[in-house]
Amino acid sequence: MSDDKPKDASAELQLLRERRDFIKKAAAGTALIALGGGLYRLASDAVSKKARAEKRTDGRRRLPPGQRVIRNLKPMGGEEGDPSAANYRLLIHGQVKKRIELTYADLRKLNEVQASADVHCVTGWSMLGGLWTGVKLSDLADLAGVKASARHVIFEAAHGYTANVTIEDALKPNVMVAHRLNGRRFARQHGAPVRALVPDLYFWKSAKWLNGIRFVEQDVPGYWETRGYNNHADPWLEERYDR
Ligand SMILES: Nc1nc2c(c(=O)[nH]1)N[C@H]1C(S)=C(S)[C@@H](COP(=O)(O)O)O[C@H]1N2
Ligand SMILES: [Mo]
């Protein structure tokens, strides 16, 4: 399991404290705001307003409650893994018929998908319409032959970071193991070479520096889920924290 990382946890809590300030400044129309020690650009109010009015194909509003649109992915930290594609290994294991270890080249040979997806960070920002490239998690599940006993998926990342999702959420067609955003490889801070993408849950479920996908019978709450964040993390239900 993950080792204790009080430094990261307090950094994240600091971000959460800044969230209220963020929302306030956003409401006041400030275009550049400071968060987590960096400046970043808010989309105009009109962009968030439009996204709030838009509907998804599933009928939900495009922008979940309490979120503001920003233009670019904000680097949210975390203990970085090895960004090298040559050294990369992805282990698919647990409740599977065939345990598989894929290299980066193996991953690139699988059926590649490109999809536009919106992501929503619990600290209050959303990035809309990024073009993500990767392999569907459901394809990897098929490849390994996931057993009927599997009820949850644990994303495993560098230095013991984990995130848990139910098998239903994990096998949705927009969930992928991604290696590109907007046609480019991820910057190291965003999870190079490979990260998970679970667009319809808060972004902490999208593990960066992904090195394992474990199918399990029993749920295993992950790094943030054991530190007060909600176990499920549906942005439309504002499942942010445990209390
Ligand atoms: N391995 C790993 N993945 C992680 C994290 C982390 O600390 N370690 N942080 C999560 C959180 S809290 C968020 S909000 C997003 C941030 O992704 P970004 O830095 O690319 O914006 O990554 C998630 N994935
Ligand atoms: Mo986060």
Ligand 1 center to 119 CA (angstroms): 12
Task: Supply the pLDDT for residue 48.
Answer: 86
Report how far Cα 150 is from the mean position of its chain's Cα atoms.
Answer: 21
Protein residue with least CA distance to atom 17, ligand 1? 76
Query: Is the per-residue pLDDT at 229 higher than 80?
Result: yes
Mean pLDDT of 41-59: 84
pLDDT-based confidence at residue 46 (cuts at 50, 70, 90): confident
Ligand 2 center to 78 CA (angstroms): 9
Q: Are 201 and 235 in contact (CB under 8 A)?
A: yes
Query: Is the per-residue pLDDT at 184 higher than 60?
Result: yes
Q: Tens of pLDDT along 103-127?
A: 999 999 999 999 999 999 999 999 9
Mean pLDDT of 204-213: 98
Q: Which atom of ligand 1 is nearest to the CA of 8?
A: 7
What's the CA gap between 61 and 46, in Å, rounded?
15
Q: Tens of pLDDT along 164-175?
A: 999 999 999 999
Q: Which atom of ligand 1 is nearest to the CA of 189?
A: 19
**By percentage, how much of the chain surpasses pLDDT 90?**
76
Mean pLDDT of 28-49: 61
What's the CA gap between 174 and 137, in Å, rounded?
9
- Distant-in-sequence, close-in-space partners of 6: CB < 8 Å, separation ≥ 6: none
Q: Are strands 38-41 and 184-185 parallel, antiparallel or unpaired?
A: unpaired
Residues lining ligand 1, Cβ inside 6 A:
73-76, 78, 121, 157-158, 161, 190-191, 203-204, 206-209
Q: Tens of pLDDT along 150-165?
A: 999 999 999 999 999 9
Query: Is the per-residue pLDDT at 37 higher than 70?
Result: no
For residues 195 and 5, which has the higher predicted lDDT (pLDDT)?
Answer: 195
Q: Which atom of ligand 1 is nearest to the CA of 161?
A: 1
